[in-house]
Amino acid sequence: MHVRDDYGLPIAEADAHEALAAHRAGDLPPVALIRVPDPPRDTWADLARAGFIRKPIWLSWRAPTPRSVDDYAARLARKARQDLRRAIDRAASADVRIEVHQTLSADQLDPFLTLYENRVDGMAFGFSFAGSMRAGMIDNPTTFGVFAYEKGELVGGCLCREFPQDNSVWLLFSAVEARWREHSLARVIYLHAFGETLRRGYPEVTMGNDPNLYGHVAKPGLFLFKTRLGFEPVPAKPIGRAPAGDCADLLLSVEALTTPVVMLGYADGDSHADASTPRLTSHVFGAGPTIDIRRYTTRTVDTARHVDLPARVARTTA
């Protein structure tokens, strides 16, 4: 097996036969997770019996582009609609100015990157993905920014990019100052991003792609946040440099992760990333008795189940 560091999390990668042999022998490495990339179809049943979860490696959160604020609000649950209206009113009462920058100069982009990186620095396993893409975003006609200013100071924003090959706009990165996160300013920023997506003629908007392991780089709260915003997770497509494809994961420990750990696996034995509408199931690890795992279901994720770690591994509960 090849052991690698995945943003601070030790992962062992192996082909299906090596992973199954190690599992049968009880000779599992001291890592948090064993991953089998692109497992052959004839190994799917054996991997499932061994406790591996076959899943898309990355998830894309998607929704039809809203035609208006009312159109968007109608899609949301009652509390989410109330939160949206309060956020709009709060931003207006504080004279927060929202600007859409059709392209981004370094002077426009860099203050946002500072805000974003300050946010990332406070996260376990945080990594500045936006910073690594800086050069490709400056003066790029397919990239635009939606920024919020209070008394001339940047207090929040979102970086977006057109993907014509996907017929969508992706909301790639967002960040909001702490005191404005309490007032859900991000929701107001997203409304303006939806408006620009509509103006550019794209029928679908994507709330970014997440690695399919909530509790690591992406936290379980992010799953709930995107659900409340009206987006649905589906297997990510291989668009541009965006990673995609399938794997089978065996989680051995949640000690270093944020619980509950959630991964979305294929609900059907023959589903895969290339299927048109694969059904997904939430597999929830380390959920304490007060956690309602049904919160981790959506229209595309119609079931959720508690999963125990292998017996030899001490559990961590929340």
Residue 48 lies in a domain: yes
Residue 9 lies in a domain: yes
Structure tokens given for 93: 């009462």
What single string gives the DSSP state of each residue in 163-174? EGGGTEEEEEEE
The residues facing 280 across adjacent strands are 266, 301
Q: Do residues 96 and 165 share a domain?
A: yes
Q: How far apart are CA 52 and CA 20, in angstroms?
A: 10
Mean pLDDT of the region 179-195: 95
What single string gives the DSSP state of each residue in 226-249? HHHTT-EEEEPP--TT----EEEE
pLDDT digits (tens, 9 = 90+) for 57-113: 999 999 999 999 999 999 999 999 999 999 999 999 999 999 999 999 999 999 999
Range of the domain at 51: 2-57+246-307
pTM of the model: 0.88
Q: How many domains does the chain have?
A: 2
CATH number reported for the structural domain that contains residue 137 in this entry: 3.40.630.30
Q: Do residues 92 and 27 share a domain?
A: no
pLDDT digits (tens, 9 = 90+) for 214-273: 999 899 999 999 999 999 999 998 877 667 899 999 999 999 899 999 999 999 877 666
Residue 207 lies in a domain: no
Q: Do residues 189 and 300 share a domain?
A: no
Please give the share of the chain, as a percent, with pLDDT higher than 70.
92
CA separation (Å) from 107 to 104, 116, 120, 134, 147? 8, 15, 21, 12, 13
Q: Tell how strand 168-176 and strand 204-211 pair up.
A: parallel
Structure tokens given for 70: 């009312």
